[in-house]
Structure 1
Amino acid sequence: MSASKEGGSKLVIVAALAANLGIAIAKFIAAGISGSSSMLTEGFHSVVDSLNQVLLLYGQHRGKKAPDEAHPFGYGRELYFWSFVVAILIFAVGAGVSIYEGYTHFIEPEPLQSPTINYVVLGIAFLMEGASWTIAMREFAAVKGDAGWWSAVHRSKDPAGFIILFEDSAALAGLAIAAVGVWASHYFADPRLDGIASIAIGSVLALVAVLLAREAKGLLIGEGADPAIVAKVRAIVDGNPAITSVAHVRTIHTAPDSIFVAISADFKDSVTMGEAESLIEGIEDQLRAAVPMLSSIYIRPEKRENAAVFQPAGTISTTSSSDSKRG
């Protein structure tokens, strides 16, 4: 991740945190005055979101820790761990409390109070959440380029940006549902409708949590680099005249801005061990210059036929077009 992208990601988190802290206080005050279940649910929603943003900031901070003997590839994947924790919190606390509060309010509805304070708080919250959502949308749009939105989320290696975008989108949806719940409960003189709105908000949060957990899990387990990066690496190695073929290029993100790459390449038989060492150093310099995110590079001289034998199950053996250079 470049310095500008990292700064943008942090800006998105801080903006969301500031908005949610202020909104949570206002929502709890409104819920205490009006007795609205959906407003109370929205208050818990904002508290959970605030905690999530603190965890993401902590993950970013921990991820910058330098490599050491215990973690030779650094601590970058801590951000992926805390992102997964955030998804669990949204599901267990955000969605769980919302659905439970809605159910209890439906079973034991409270007397209706004036909805005016609820509408005022919801309006203010919508403006603040909308501002946070706009920042998150703008930053993510700048990063995703020409890719589709869902494709960009799936391919992103920096979970902070899309988690905040999902959270803010869920928050805006929750505010709209809460407003409908408050209005319907007063219009139809049935406070149980407010409880139903709370359950609906919890359902939205549960759906968002499942989607985020799925993406965070993939990053935590380990995802390869973008196919364009892999293709660039292969082209650089394959373009060296001393290389007859590239058996495989395997990558894994050790952080949003850090990639480990392992390359199996077949050198010409005439290349001596000493010459191979110099060639590998030169290729590594080329790769780092072309792809700065390559933090660790491992190039293994290996005969093409031997590399094919040890191809891991489930992968496709790829033979380079440079086979024509053989001989």
Structure 2
Amino acid sequence: MTTVALAVSEGMLHFELSMATEVFGSAPDAVPGPWYDLETCGAAPVRVGRFLLEPDHGLDRLAAAHTVIVPGWADPDVTPPAQLVDAVRAAHAAGARVASLCTGAFVLAAAGLLDGARATTHWAHTRELAALYPRVEVDPDVLYVDNGRVLTSAGKAAAMDLCLHLVRLDRGSSVANAVARRLVVPPHREGGQAQFVSTPVTAPGRHPLAELLPWAVQRLDRPLTVEDLARQARMSSRNLGRHFRSVTGTTPLQWLLIQRIRRAQELLETTDRGIDTIAAATGLGSAATLRRHFHRVVGVPPDTYRRTFHAGAQGARPSRT
């Protein structure tokens, strides 16, 4: 029987802990034979939401586990307890497979397990992870990263993706599919975090592009060029580029492309318009061009995005405008 140890401590997110418990705590009826031996390991009782959790074992028990799972860390600004970090590091040194869920990646990074490796965490904390641990190659777009004996997942629901991936590695796809059916979740999701990330609109204020940006957003259906933008802003193209870097962090053309893609996402979510119509409405010209840029920026094709986020999928009647 494969032992899965949950490393628990104060400051732990209960949602990720619950998902790991659901996956590894009991086998689906359709799966014969023994299942995982799930243990909780911690230095002391910890509060999980409104409940007090009494760990099965101390943190030293992690070193005896086949798989160690570190649930989400509630406040990445707070350094994880040294005792937890040391125990996770010792478990990995003893041969355990170590996986983090959501912001649990900060514990793995503190233990040095992500140095020189690719990793991910919740998209809202990827920049913070990269800043605190510059030796980590942070990938903000994926649902999870498998480096063999060290695995990391993105936020919340992506923790389930990683847990099912671990089952798939251990027991095969049919067993992982059975677990997914029991939990009423997809056994594998397409794309990455990019499809869930909202790109904030540049805050209004007194900057050289304050009037230009809304003007451009209202004309996304037109083939705008850098020269068009510079002419409207009454500045040279070079000067425009400098201001765009300062205000938006990117180039005029890249900013325009992102606005067109975000507009396409809105239309896919709220209307039944065809891909050709949406391509024209967003200034991307053809369905092929929209599909190419959309897949590159969002991580999934427009049709997949619509199936996931269309208002009709939530029980609402979509617009046909």
So what's the TM-score if we normalise by structure 2? Answer: 0.29
Greater Rg by CA = 1
So what's the TM-score if we normalise by structure 1? Answer: 0.28
Name the structure where helix makes up a greater proportion of residues: 1
Higher relative contact order (CA 8 A, sep 6+): 1
